[in-house]
Structure 1
Amino acid sequence: MSNFPWKFLNSSQALRMEKVCWPYFDPEFENLTERIHGPSCQVCIDNESCEDCTVVKVDSVNKQGLLLQVVQALTDMNLHISKSYISSDAGWFMDVFHVTDEHGSKLTDQNVIDHIQQAIGSMKDSAGSSRSQVQNGAEAAEATAAGSDTSTEHTAIELTGTDRPGLFSEISAALTDLGCNVVEAHAWSHNERLACVALISDESTDSRIDDPGRLATIEDHLSTVLAATTNSSGANEEQGVKTAGLPGGGDGATPTTTNVERRLHQLMLAGRDFDGPPGNSSLSSSPYSTEGEEEGKKTVVTIERCDEKGYSVVTVETRDRPKLMFDTVCTLTDMQYVIFHASISSHGDSAFQEYYIRHVDGYALNTESEKKRVIKCLEAAIERRVCEGVRLELCANNRVGLLSDITRVLREYGLAVVRADVETQGEKAVNAFYVRDIYGNEVDMELVESLKREMESLALEVKNETHRPGSPERPQNRLSFGDMLKSQLERFSQNFIPIK
């Protein structure tokens, strides 16, 4: 720590510094650093240093939350981070990312390179000061939403509660009955907890819903749907429905994918999915590791102390996959931990992450209970996105009630939705679902094969990913599944309009 100005301290100042484990900074030091290095983020895109990846270098005056913003920007562009080196001590943020596109190639499109520089270069002023008061992660998202909600064209609604087979289908049907069109929806299910964020509009006007009375009716109706799940653990006390805004994109107008995914992480964290299914006291028999589906593969999280610098060192070893760094950095940030240094690397399908952290109050993790909680929360954050099973992708002409009809068909066939990503692109509805057998068995692909031969109509693809629970989300074993869906939709919905 030789790069910041030292001062002689009186005894009370020295005692406070020792207690908080923070080096003393001159109040003018941050301004001095900014005068020396310049007020804006410096972003360098290097395509020459490495043969198989593009190197993104970021230098900036450090602000709390800046690292997560940078990772969010890279994740929004579907870039895979294979390595990263982070240092943010002494008020200056220096970071190096080794990235590739979704095909595993270097970045050659100048438009993409320019977008990275513009997106990251404009972030410095939007992040809060590293030594300012920091809000709770969920509260911060809601505060951001308050400023962006009025600029969106749709009403955002958040739901969280105890999951059960068919719950997502019931939610979709309830919204249709309430005259709501689902423009976009994202849902995660983990450890028998469900979190869902949806953008809805009025069925008749296709505009946002602002009437307080109608919003109250929507919340009350959906709360009734969620409350149908009851158990001895009292988990339904944690049910919740709220109409709210979402953090906007780079221009504050449209929620980005990572904004929504961060909110899903926050909702799951608030719902304590890291404690395991209702009635279980932990995620696994050992609080320090989670066994994977595939033999020999597991997620291991450990925490040690670095007494010399007053850090806690968090290490994560797991299967590599897209958005892994976003999930871990997002969780640590929303749990109010500051990442001072980090090293991220991946080899083959294995990933290793090391974070040097302190709580925002300046303390390292001192108690075993706090360490175990952080470990379980990181394990849960890694598990939430991993969905083994069958992935269904559907593109159809959009209409009110389409999502309700599709999910009803899946439920009729004994399939439970464990993750959903529903979007509207122009006149088309683009839906992706991860489904499992409602009784916990493997999905019968022979049934799928027999049904797909009856006719060809809907643009639906099936990808069986059961054998790679942690693999990147790339096509596997594509099959046509349109026959079953078309025939069943015609049975259950007279308003169904097939694609010609």
Structure 2
Amino acid sequence: MNQVCWPYFDPDFDNLPERIHGPTCRVCIDNESMETCTVVKVDSVNKQGLLLEVVQILTDLNLTISKSYISSDAGWFMDVFHLKDVHGNKLTDQNIINAIQQAIGTARGNPDSAKAKSTYSNKIFRPDQYQNEHTAVEMTGKDRPGLFSEISAALADLHCNIVEAHAWSHNDRLACVAYISDHESSGIPIDDPDRLATIEDHLSTVLRATTIPSLIGSIQTNQQEVKAGFLEGSEEGTNMTNVERRLHQLMLSVRDFEVPSALSSLPTMTPTGSEDSDDEGRKTVVKIERCDQKRYSIVNIECKDRARLMFDTVCTLTDMQYMIFHAAISSDRGYAFQEYFIRHLDGCALDTESEKERVIKCLEAAIERRVCEGVRLELCADNRVGLLSDITRVLRENGLTVVRADVATQGEKAVNALYVRDISGNEVDMETFAESMKKEIMGPIALQVKNETKGSPSTSPERSRLSLGDMLKSHIERLSHNFIPIK
């Protein structure tokens, strides 16, 4: 009888890579080494965009990165983060610790999850977790006083319920991502092609209303700016935690890093008591040098420290198709220092002066987009279709314009965080605004006012769908103890 011979497999062969290199992703959380912060160490096989994913996870958990060291050369990613919670303390909540370990491991397991979108097309966008909930619409265009109010009114006229919306304005440009549902059909997603086309056409008309090509540049650039459409679904499973990345991409697509001539000739507004003389002498500085030995370009950033700063800079470099091989991040007395060793995806360093200048401008814009100068209004009210339209209309009638917005709803409640500024540059008269709100808005509304000075870190509501309910609950409870009742 012929003998059948099978090839021999060493039972430990599958474990050999792990024995040589360790686990493919290892997360170590150390609460003992440092007295004032928690140290998180991440070791993993490297891939493009992994650093952004890790930073995004930590940022979405509302953690402050006070110091970081990154090394991702030779195909291996090794990173150290010094973290604090929102109160400036070490991480003691085991749920947060578990969330960090699980989220970073999940991010590493999805090889396509960090790919940056390079195109923006007018398509329906429904991430897997929202597939039967809402339709998302994105808008970019030239900003003007009252534009966000007009967008809100247009959606209300089209019987669209704004479930969530986020808008940024910078250098005369606006980017907005809104999640809407059909009010006429009990809040289901809008998927009728004719109605989607009507919404897109209506919003495009609003965005085009006062666009002046001479303020932007060429006609072609102007046409690219005026755009309303539906986000394109992708394999990466876009979710609410990267809405801010999407806003960065949209602002970059409309070249908000270029200051329009109409704005460059205007004097800079400085709010009363905004900064002391020492701070005025320390502006954002971005420099780029060469490291000839390793063919790196070294990007140095010095600016005021604030929440989400590292996310903004890493996001911008990643979406501009640069790989970060090494980095060192630190902060001292309210000032941040960041150093990145980068190359383009094609392996080249920044060789030309024009390329260096573009990267510098884009990083400066990324740092500035989130910083709001004006008054932050937090309004909590019973949710209904047209509520945001009514609130922004009252603002506009009182000579106020929205420069940034974070809107969220949970059940029957709507929480609106709006950053507003007087169109004429005058001080905001909140007593008059509160009286107008009392007359125009039906039902009780809680209103809290905060002054945001130039360079102040501006926080925003959490966008993670998994934690949105908890955030709104605590947010509403805080507002209930700190509001101006309007009955």
1:240 to 206, 220, 227: 227
1:148–1:248 CA contact under 8 A, matched in 2: no
The amino acid across from 2:420 in the alignment is V
The amino acid across from 1:57 in the alignment is K
Gap change, CA 1:94 and 1:156, over 3 Å in 2: same
How far apart are residue 427 of structure 1 and its match?
A: 1.4
SS in structure 2 of the partner of residue 365 of structure 1: coil
Q: Structure 1 residue 113 and structure 2 residue 113: aligned? A: no
2:125–2:230 CA contact under 8 A, matched in 1: no
Deviation digits for residues 449-486 of structure 1, max 9, x if unmatched? Answer: 888999994211000123x53235499xx985554xxx
Gap change, CA 1:356 and 1:306, over 3 Å in 2: same
How far apart are residue 126 of structure 1 and its match?
A: 1.3
TM-score computed with the length of structure 2 as normaliser: 0.82
How far apart are residue 447 of structure 1 and its match?
A: 4.9
Q: What's the counterpart of residue 143 of structure 2?
A: 163
2:280 to 295, 312, 323: 295
Q: Distance between the aligned counterparts of 2:318 and 2:124, measured in 1?
A: 16
Q: Structure 1 residue 348 and structure 2 residue 326: aligned? A: no
Gap change, CA 1:92 and 1:212, over 3 Å in 2: same
The amino acid across from 1:67 in the alignment is L
Q: Distance between the aligned counterparts of 1:309 and 1:283, measured in 2?
A: 43
Q: Structure 1 residue 323 and structure 2 residue 308: aligned? A: yes
Q: Structure 1 residue 277 and structure 2 residue 265: aligned? A: no
The amino acid across from 1:243 in the alignment is F
1:247–1:255 CA contact under 8 A, matched in 2: no
Q: What's the counterpart of residue 102 of structure 1?
A: 86
How far apart are residue 144 of structure 1 and its match?
A: 12
SS in structure 1 of the partner of residue 381 of structure 2: strand
SS in structure 1 of the partner of residue 280 of structure 2: coil
Q: Distance between the aligned counterparts of 2:264 and 2:284, measured in 1?
A: 19
How far apart are residue 276 of structure 1 and its match?
A: 1.2
How far apart are residue 388 of structure 1 and its match?
A: 1.4
1:219 to 185, 200, 211: 200
Once structures 1 and 2 are overlaid, which stretch shifts more, 52-61 or 137-146? 137-146
1:481-496 residue pairs with structure 2 within 5 A? 481-483=484-486
Gap change, CA 1:141 and 1:318, over 3 Å in 2: farther
Q: What's the counterpart of residue 197 of structure 1?
A: 177
Q: Distance between the aligned counterparts of 2:145 and 2:437, measured in 1?
A: 24
1:461–1:480 CA contact under 8 A, matched in 2: yes
Deviation digits for residues 352-399 of structure 1, max 9, x if unmatched? Answer: 000000000000000000000000000000000000110000111111
2:405–2:418 CA contact under 8 A, matched in 1: yes
How far apart are residue 127 of structure 1 and its match?
A: 3.0
1:76–1:256 CA contact under 8 A, matched in 2: no
1:21-420 residue pairs with structure 2 within 5 A? 36-128=20-112, 137-139=117-119, 148=128, 151-205=131-185, 206-233=187-214, 234=219, 236-237=222-223, 238-245=225-232, 252=237, 255-257=239-241, 259-277=242-260, 295-420=280-405
Q: Distance between the aligned counterparts of 1:399 and 1:69, measured in 2?
A: 35
RMSD: 3.4
SS in structure 1 of the partner of residue 249 of structure 2: helix
How far apart are residue 277 of structure 1 and its match?
A: 2.6
How far apart are residue 122 of structure 1 and its match?
A: 1.6
The amino acid across from 1:345 in the alignment is S
Deviation digits for residues 429-462 of structure 1, max 9, x if unmatched? Answer: 0110000011233324575688899999421100
Q: Distance between the aligned counterparts of 1:445 and 1:248, measured in 2?
A: 46
Q: Sequence identity, in percent?
A: 67
Q: What's the counterpart of residue 495 of structure 1?
A: none
SS in structure 2 of the partner of residue 220 of structure 1: helix
The amino acid across from 2:166 in the alignment is H
TM-score computed with the length of structure 1 as normaliser: 0.80
Gap change, CA 1:81 and 1:135, over 3 Å in 2: closer
Q: Structure 1 residue 471 and structure 2 residue 462: aligned? A: no
1:173–1:404 CA contact under 8 A, matched in 2: yes
Deviation digits for residues 123-157 of structure 1, max 9, x if unmatched? Answer: 2121349xxxx965334999996764873510000
Once structures 1 and 2 are overlaid, which stretch shifts more, 401-410 or 38-47? 38-47
Q: What's the counterpart of residue 461 of structure 1?
A: 448
Q: Distance between the aligned counterparts of 2:17 and 2:296, measured in 1?
A: 24
Q: Distance between the aligned counterparts of 2:388 and 2:235, measured in 1?
A: 25
Q: Distance between the aligned counterparts of 1:68 and 1:349, measured in 2?
A: 23
Q: Distance between the aligned counterparts of 1:309 and 1:448, measured in 2?
A: 58
Q: Distance between the aligned counterparts of 1:473 and 1:99, measured in 2?
A: 17
The amino acid across from 1:73 in the alignment is I
SS in structure 2 of the partner of residue 274 of structure 1: coil
Q: Distance between the aligned counterparts of 1:283 and 1:102, measured in 2?
A: 37
Unaligned runs of 5+ in 1: 1-30, 286-291, 484-497
The amino acid across from 1:195 in the alignment is A
Runs (4 or more) in structure 1 with deviation over 4 Å come to: 31-35, 140-147, 245-249, 278-285, 445-457, 478-483
